[in-house]
């Protein structure tokens, strides 16, 4: 299992790279806004290039700003040129619930890396996977990355965490059974450290985690108490040893 950082904050990304915990990054315009990116679409593009260079060869997912098929395709083609490790996030449907799989299929045929996102059901996930594979099997150049993002947090809010777990587990089993080895599952919309614990056992290939939940996942009162005891005991022992040597 891999961890992607759900952020556009370069300093945060650098920190988790130095910890060995960043194997990719996911962003969107809302995240960019929260992270202080300015300059509209051009500012997002520049931040994307900066992140892509920083984490290369790991992937950075960026979101198109349209839900119209032709515009999605046009924007995706443009964004894919920003860096070789850029992955284009495309929602499974538009705002009216109409399929955006035509865009997914066409872009996969062109060898563009796609992250089909905002999925909350098993059926959505398998249809997206089939569209992706149908596209890249006919591509002259197979995409480097092929992701399906399941928004487990949103599933759990409506149907409970166990249902989110089942969707993830069942989809992973389906991918394995049908030998969809080129496609990886990303778990999105993580809401708590408890989500990290449960969904890391679901069979998903990747968890995309906001930085605050990585930090919270490290916190344990009992661990802190034990570390304090260890350090205090070590200092006391060293002082006693030094006293004997004098």
Active site residues: 89
Separation between Cα atoms, residue 117 and residue 187, nearest integer Å: 10
- Three-class secondary structure of residue 41 per DSSP: helix
Q: How many CA atoms lie within 13 A of 218 on its CB side?
A: 7
Phi, psi of 181 (to 5 degrees): -70, -20
The DSSP 8-state label assigned to residue 181 in this structure reads T
Extract the tokens encoding 204. Answer: 């998903």
The residue whose two tokens read 């040129």 is: 81
Q: Say which residues have a Cβ less than 8 Å from residue 44's Cβ, sequence separation at least 6.
A: 27, 29, 32, 37, 62
- Residue 74 CA: distances (Å) to CA of 62, 67, 103, 112, 151: 14, 11, 10, 12, 26
- Confirm if 66 and 40 have CB atoms less than 8 A apart: no
Contact residues for 53 (Cβ-Cβ < 8 A; gap 6+): 83
Structure token digits, residue 109 = 């045929």
Q: How far apart are CA 56 and CA 52, in angstroms?
A: 6
CA distance 152 to 210: 14
């Amino acid at each position: 299992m891999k961890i992607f950082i759900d952020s556009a904050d370069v300093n945060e990304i650098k920190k988790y790279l130095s910890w060995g915990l960043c194997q990719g990054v996911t962003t969107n315009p809302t995240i960019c806004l929260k992270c202080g990116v300015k300059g509209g679409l051009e500012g997002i593009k520049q931040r994307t290039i900066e992140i892509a260079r920083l984490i290369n060869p790991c992937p950075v997912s960026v979101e198109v700003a349209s839900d119209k098929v032709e515009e999605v395709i046009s924007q995706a083609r443009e964004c894919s040129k920003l860096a070789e490790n850029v992955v284009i996030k495309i929602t499974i449907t538009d705002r009216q619930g109409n399929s955006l799989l035509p865009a997914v299929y066409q872009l996969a045929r062109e060898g563009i890396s796609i992250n089909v996102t905002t999925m909350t059901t098993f059926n959505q996930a398998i249809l997206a996977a089939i569209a992706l594979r149908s596209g890249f099997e006919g591509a002259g150049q197979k995409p480097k990355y092929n992701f399906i993002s399941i928004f487990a947090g949103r599933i759990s809010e409506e149907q409970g965490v166990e249902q989110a777990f089942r969707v993830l587990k069942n989809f992973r089993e389906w991918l394995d059974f049908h030998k969809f080895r080129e496609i990886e599952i990303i778990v999105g919309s993580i809401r708590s450290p408890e989500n990290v614990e449960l969904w890391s056992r679901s069979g998903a290939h990747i968890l995309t985690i906001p930085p605050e939940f990585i930090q919270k996942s490290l916190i344990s009162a009992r661990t802190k108490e034990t570390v304090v005891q260890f350090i205090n005991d070590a200092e006391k022992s060293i002082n006693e040893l030094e006293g004997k040597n004098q």
